[in-house]
């Protein structure tokens, strides 16, 4: 192989050369203009002198020309001789004949003859410069006129320009010397400056990064970095890197453990260890079991949403108390006077403690501040947040009520409190104000936006202080942790420790960590299996006229962040692009109405219904519809059957913290026969990279993904699904809870902040 020779100039030299050459060129151009100007001035001066001489000699020449040649020569005497730069003068008759001339002029007779001929022919003076083999001349030929104005002859004045040329050359040499001197000095100065200010500090930074990689770097980057932001960003980068390495090491340790799968029993044992005799409390807005009235009778439902899906199995495994808003119409009726009841009702393992709120409080705190304010604030789905002072007051009051109820349930003993989500941001601080000894963690189930987005909330600093009451703050993704720390950094006076991802506020330390949430295996839930499942699927196919169509399914709360309009449009586009699938394939959307007291949510349902109707009307046949939009509450058993029935699962969130439906779909495919289409804007996309990842706003790409999913070869489907299942099985909800609790309980609780309440 031929070796290529490559030559690299060192950076400071390159920079020095560049600057020196540019400035050298600039000064060179200026010098050139200056030399030229002076040369022009010299020539003008020469013209002026020649004219003065010609003027002085005009009269004597006029008189002499009236005489015959011999007398005229005598009359001129030595008047025509030259001195210094003047070579001499010469006088001619109108026919061009020479009358008399200085001695030096004779050598240039030919040059003068032409100029004199031209002057007499045109009747006007000639001024010119002329180069001969060994001279450089300036000549003026002036017409001599009789008093009546008639031409009488011509007078030539001849100067030597060699002196002028010498001066110009001398100037060029002088300028050349100074330009060279300046360029060289600049080169040296720039090189030294570039080396001192950039090269040396950046080389030190590179060395520090290398050491960081090998593990023996100093905590902070070198202090002399040329740009202050480079120092702070390197600092953060190093902190993220260290955090990632620690997480990776922890993960690696976990993988080494033979029993890699977390189960309900294993979690139970682990929680007993973590709690050391204390109690486990969960505080959330949404309750895991809700009693609605149906035909005047209480009916139990399990609310839709990731929070319940994730935490109910944890509480079922570990026992404890779940404090939540009793929002069902028949909730009071089904609980005791304190608002308590044992759940799950058919096989109780833990206590649900319902908190009662008035309609007004619920409106302000839940619908208003939490869901018209914080929800759109944290999701980048182009919905404008609404903040009202009255809603905020209800939010503060409701959070205080939840905290007080949790403290009541904790009694006087030790307890670990897991606060859930954006509806409860102030609860950690309220808890700690009364019970600093409690171990308090909060898990934020939705994305945390960047500081620019979050700071528009008028009560952003209060929310941050509320959250920073917790000992541990969890998000799904590292990116959300980074955004949170950045927001704290910009908005309140607190000490940030980027190395350990921690914030110290008034002496209390909160650690910030990613805990990607997950699901439990369907085999641990009360769903149908075997022949019963087959029958259930057949019933559903019959009820919804699905026959033996190939099916894709979506399961969502009807929320504008879930990208349902984008999904419907992609399905319509798919049928336009691939008409051969009409009558072969149908998309089923299970949609649970959600937050319907908020106009935006009500309108969204209507909008979706109209869109589905429109698409169906355009494409449907007598026995087939492209979209089945099933609005209503679907229990876990039905959802499971739909997930099993469908060969494609579609999740197209415009922005989502995690999205557990994606993981539920994977968990529902023990036969590995299914393809997941997943939005790149859902947190789950980081873990489920074997899904067909789409941008839900890109209808063409989305429609193409549906075609690809339908036509994917069985082996590829199985390989992708097997990898995703391994991921979901190993990182299930029990592991999530185990990590969260271990992290919360293994570090001693620091002193809580007690001043300034929200």
Bridge pairing between strands 136-145 and 340-343:
unpaired
Q: Sketch the per residue contact string, 123 through 162, with ligand F6P: x for CB under 6 A, - otherwise.
A: ----------------------------------------
- Nearer of residues 225 and 370 to ligand F6P, judged by Cβ: 370
Tell me, residue by residue from 580 to 619, as one string, x for binding to ligand F6P by CB under 6 A and - for no binding: --------------xx------------------------
Part in contact with ligand F6P (CB under 6 A); list of ranges 52-60, 302-310, 393-401, 487-495: 302-310
Is 305 a binder of ligand F6P (CB under 6 A)?
yes
Q: How many residues does the chain have?
A: 758
Cβ at position 745, least distance to ligand F6P in Å: 23
671 burial (CB, 10 Å; 0-12 / 13-18 / 19+) is exposed
Contact by Cβ (8 Å): 248, 514 = no
User: 92 vs 454, which CB is nearer to ligand F6P?
Assistant: 454
Kindly state the smallest distance separating residue 423's Cβ from ligand F6P, in Å.
Answer: 6
Q: How many residues bind ligand F6P (CB under 6 A)?
A: 11
Among 282, 307, 440, 721, binds ligand F6P (CB under 6 A): 307
**DSSP H helices in 335-477:** 359-362, 375-378, 389-410, 427-434, 451-454, 460-467
Kindly tell me which of 286 and 435 has the beta carbon lying closer to ligand F6P. 286
Q: Which residues of 559-577 are buried (b: 16+ CB within 10 A; e: fewer)?
A: bbbbbbbbbbbbbbbbbee
Q: Which parts of 485-543 are beta strand (E)?
A: 495-497, 502-505, 508-514
Separation CA 656–CA 280 (nearest Å): 28
Binding track over 511-550 against ligand F6P, x by CB under 6 A: ----------------------------------------
User: What gap in Å lies between CA 736 and CA 168, rounded to an integer?
Assistant: 86
Q: Which of 306, 466, 626, 683 binds ligand F6P (CB under 6 A)?
A: 306
Closest CB to ligand F6P among residues 285, 482: 285
- Report the site for ligand F6P in 277-296 (rule: CB under 6 A): 285-286
Q: How far is the CB of 324 from ligand F6P (least distance, A)?
A: 9
Q: Partners of 472 in the beta sheet?
A: 441, 511
Distance CA 612, CA 560 (A): 15
Q: Nearer to ligand F6P by C-beta: 286 or 353?
A: 286
Residues 6+ apart with CB under 8 A from 328: 287, 290, 291, 292, 301, 334
Q: Which stretch binds ligand F6P (CB under 6 A): 238-246, 301-309, 526-534, 561-569?
A: 301-309
Residue 164 tokens, joined: 């002028």
Other residues' Cβ atoms within 10 Å of the Cβ of residue 304 = 24
Angle at 13 between CA 7 and CA 18, to 5 degrees: 100
Comparison of 471 and 656: residue with beta carbon closer to ligand F6P: 656
Q: Which two tokens stand for residue 206?
A: 């590179």
Pick 657 or 753: Cβ nearer ligand F6P: 657
- Tell me whether residue 307 or residue 468 sits nearer to ligand F6P (CB atom): 307
Least CB distance from residue 712 to ligand F6P, whole Å? 31
The contact mask relative to ligand F6P for 391-430 (x = CB under 6 A, - = no) is: ------------------------------x---------
- Nearest approach in angstroms of CB 293 to ligand F6P is 18
Distance CA 375, CA 457 (A): 11
Give the range of 289-297, 305-313, 495-503, 618-626 binding ligand F6P by CB under 6 A. Answer: 305-313
**CA distances (Å), 633 to each of 7, 124, 326, 630, 638, in order?**
71, 110, 18, 9, 10
437 to 456: interface string for ligand F6P, x by CB under 6 A? --------xx----------
Q: Which residue is nearest to ligand F6P (CB)?
A: 305
Q: Can you give the binding site for ligand F6P, defined by CB under 6 A?
A: 285-286, 305-307, 421, 445-446, 557, 594-595
């Amino acid at each position: 192989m031929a070796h290529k020779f490559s030559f690299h100039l060192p950076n400071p030299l390159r920079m020095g050369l560049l600057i020196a050459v540019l400035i050298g060129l600039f000064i060179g151009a200026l010098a050139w203009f200056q030399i030229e100007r002076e040369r022009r001035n010299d020539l003008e001066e020469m013209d002026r002198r020649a004219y003065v001489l010609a003027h002085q000699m005009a009269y004597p020449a006029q008189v002499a020309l009236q005489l015959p040649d011999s007398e005229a020569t005598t009359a001129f005497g030595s008047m025509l001789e030259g001195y210094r730069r003047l070579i001499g003068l010469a006088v001619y008759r109108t026919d061009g004949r020479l009358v008399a001339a200085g001695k030096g002029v004779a050598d240039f007779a030919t040059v003068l003859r032409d100029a004199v001929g031209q002057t007499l022919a045109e009747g006007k003076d000639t001024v010119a410069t002329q180069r001969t083999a060994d001279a450089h001349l300036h000549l003026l030929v002036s017409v001599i006129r009789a008093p009546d104005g008639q031409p009488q002859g011509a007078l030539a004045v001849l100067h030597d320009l060699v002196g002028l040329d010498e001066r110009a050359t001398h100037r060029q040499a002088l300028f050349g010397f100074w330009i060279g001197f300046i360029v060289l000095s600049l080169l040296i100065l720039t090189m030294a400056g570039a080396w001192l200010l950039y090269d040396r500090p950046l080389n030190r930074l590179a060395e520090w990064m290398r050491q960081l990689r090998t593990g023996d770097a100093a905590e902070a980057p070198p202090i002399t970095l040329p740009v202050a932001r480079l120092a702070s960003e390197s600092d953060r980068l190093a902190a993220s890197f260290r955090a990632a390495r620690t997480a990776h090491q922890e993960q690696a340790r976990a993988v080494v453990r033979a029993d890699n799968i977390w189960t309900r029993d294993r979690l139970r044992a682990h929680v007993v260890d973590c709690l050391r005799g204390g109690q486990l409390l969960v505080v959330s807005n949404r309750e895991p079991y809700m009693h609605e009235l149906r035909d005047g009778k209480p009916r139990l439902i399990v609310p839709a949403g990731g929070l319940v899906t994730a935490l109910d199995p944890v509480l079922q495994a570990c026992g404890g108390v779940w404090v939540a808003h009793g929002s069902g119409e028949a909730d009071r009726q089904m609980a005791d006077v304190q608002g308590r009841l044992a759940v799950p009702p058919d096989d109780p393992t833990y206590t649900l403690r319902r908190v009662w709120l008035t309609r007004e409080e619920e409106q302000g705190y839940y619908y208003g501040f939490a869901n018209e304010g914080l929800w759109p604030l944290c999701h980048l789905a182009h919905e404008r947040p609404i903040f009202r002072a009255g809603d905020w007051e209800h939010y503060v009051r409701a959070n205080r009520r939840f905290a007080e109820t949790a403290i009541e349930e904790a009694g006087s003993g030790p307890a670990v409190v897991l606060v859930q989500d954006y509806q409860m941001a102030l609860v950690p601080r309220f808890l700690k104000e009364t019970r600093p000894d409690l171990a308090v963690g909060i898990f934020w189930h939705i994305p945390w936006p960047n500081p620019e987005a979050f700071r528009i909330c008028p009560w952003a600093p209060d929310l941050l202080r509320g959250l920073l009451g917790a000992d541990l703050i969890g998000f799904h993704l590292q990116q959300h942790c980074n955004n949170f720390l950045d927001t704290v950094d910009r908005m309140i006076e607190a000490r940030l420790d980027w190395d350990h991802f921690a914030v110290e506020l008034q002496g209390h330390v909160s650690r910030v960590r990613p805990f990607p949430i997950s699901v439990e295996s369907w085999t641990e839930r009360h769903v149908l299996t075997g022949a019963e499942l087959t029958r259930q699927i057949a019933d559903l196919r019959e009820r919804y006229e699905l026959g033996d169509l190939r099916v894709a399914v979506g399961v969502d709360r009807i929320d504008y962040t879930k990208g349902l309009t984008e999904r419907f449009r992609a399905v319509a586009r798919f049928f336009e692009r691939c008409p051969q699938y009409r009558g072969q394939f149908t998309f089923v959307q299970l949609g649970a109405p959600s937050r319907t007291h908020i106009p935006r949510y009500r309108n969204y349902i209507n909008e979706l219904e109209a869109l589905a109707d429109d698409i169906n009307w355009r494409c449907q046949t007598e026995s087939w519809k492209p979209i089945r939009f099933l609005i209503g509450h679907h229990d876990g058993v039905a959802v499971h059957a739909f997930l099993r029935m469908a060969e494609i699962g579609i999740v197209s969130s415009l922005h989502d913290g995690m999205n557990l439906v994606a993981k539920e779909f994977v968990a529902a495919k023990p036969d590995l026969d299914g393809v997941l289409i997943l939005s790149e804007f859902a947190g789950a996309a980081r873990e489920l990279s074997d899904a067909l990842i789409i941008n839900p706003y890109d209808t063409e790409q989305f429609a193409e993904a549906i075609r690809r999913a339908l036509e994917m070869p069985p082996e590829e489907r199985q390989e992708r699904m097997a990898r995703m299942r391994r991921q979901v099985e190993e990182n299930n909800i029990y592991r999530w809870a185990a990590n969260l609790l271990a992290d919360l309980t293994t570090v001693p609780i620091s002193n809580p902040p007690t001043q300034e309440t929200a």
